[in-house]
Amino acid sequence: MCVDVAFVASSRQATWIAVTVILMGVALPAAAAEEAINVILDQARIAKVPERTTTMVVGNPLIADVSVQAGGIMVVTGKGYGVTNLIALDRTGKVLAEQLVKVRSPVDNVVIYRGIARESYSCAPDCERRITLGDTPEYFDATLTETGNRNSRAQQGQAVGATPR
């Protein structure tokens, strides 16, 4: 049996090149995913704005909101669960950067299900009502009303639970 040694060596080399290219193709999206801005629902994160940016585009404003501040800073606020993207444009419309924004739930969030009814609580350290996307409308509205009443009284200088004179 006659084996061409040059052919075997070049086949191995081609295989290693193919494996390397495949691994690079897998590694590049993973590296891009690490650059995502991770935000907790109803919280904000500070990030740098690319130089020469004149316009910031949010892919889905129901998931995140962006406010550009002086000094090349932007504030990214989580509005809803999911993933969206931010695109930075210069004044000619050229794309300067594109970045993913991932909005997730807080770690101290406890969800209670009563049949199909859902209630959320923040447990840090004690469990208190917290309205969250997906809660039952009755629970959501009652908690929102209670919070609104408390805030109104605080702005008026009244103690919560005090009777008006």
Q: Which two tokens stand for residue 145?
A: 């009303």
164 pLDDT more than 50 = yes
Phi/psi at 95 (5° precision): -75, 120
pLDDT in tens, 2-24: 544 444 445 556 555 554 545 45
Q: How far apart are CA 37 and CA 48, in angstroms?
A: 11
Q: Which two tokens stand for residue 57?
A: 């585009």
Cross-strand bridge partners of residue 84: 101
Q: How far apart are CA 71 and CA 65, in angstroms?
A: 19
CB distance 133 to 80 below 8 Å: yes
* pTM for this predicted structure: 0.63
At residue 157 the predicted structure's pLDDT band, cuts being 50, 70 and 90, is confident
Q: Which of 77-81, 110-114, 129-133, 149-153 has the lowest mean pLDDT?
A: 129-133
